[in-house]
Structure 1
Amino acid sequence: MKILVASAFAICLSLAAVSGSRAMPLAPLDQAASVDIIRVAGGCGPGWHRGPYGGCRPMYNCPPGWHSGPFGRRCFRNW
Structure 2
Amino acid sequence: MKRILAASAFALGLGLIGMTASQAMPLAPVADQAASADVILVAGGCGPGWHRGPYGGCRPMYNCPPGWHSGPFGRRCFRNW
Question: With structure 2 as the length reference, what TM-score do the two structures score?
Answer: 0.51
User: In the alignment, what sits opposite 1:8?
Assistant: 9
Verify the 8 A CA contact 2:64 2:77 in the aligned structure 1: no
Residues 29 and 76 from structure 1, CA distance in 2 versus in 1: closer, same or farther, beyond 3 angstroms? closer
Unaligned 5+ runs, structure 2: none
**Contact kept in structure 2, 1:67 and 1:76, CA below 8 Å:** yes
CA distance in structure 1 between the partners assigned to 2:62 and 2:42 by the alignment: 18
1:20 to 1:37, Cα distance in 2 relative to 1, 3 A? same
Partner residue of 1:48 out of 42, 47, 51: 51
Shift in Å, 1:16: 1.0
- Say how many residue pairs are matched: 73
Query: Residues 32 and 60 (structure 1 numbering): CA distance in 2 closer, same or farther, change over 3 Å?
Result: closer
**AA at the equivalent of 1:34:** S
Question: For the aligned residues, what is the CA RMSD?
Answer: 3.5
The unaligned stretches of length 5 or more in structure 1 are none
Moved over 4 A (4+): none
The alignment's TM-score, normalised by the length of structure 1, stands at: 0.52
Find the aligned partners of 1:7 and 1:56 in 2 and give their Cα distance. 59
Counterpart code for 2:73: R
Match of 2:70 in 1: 68
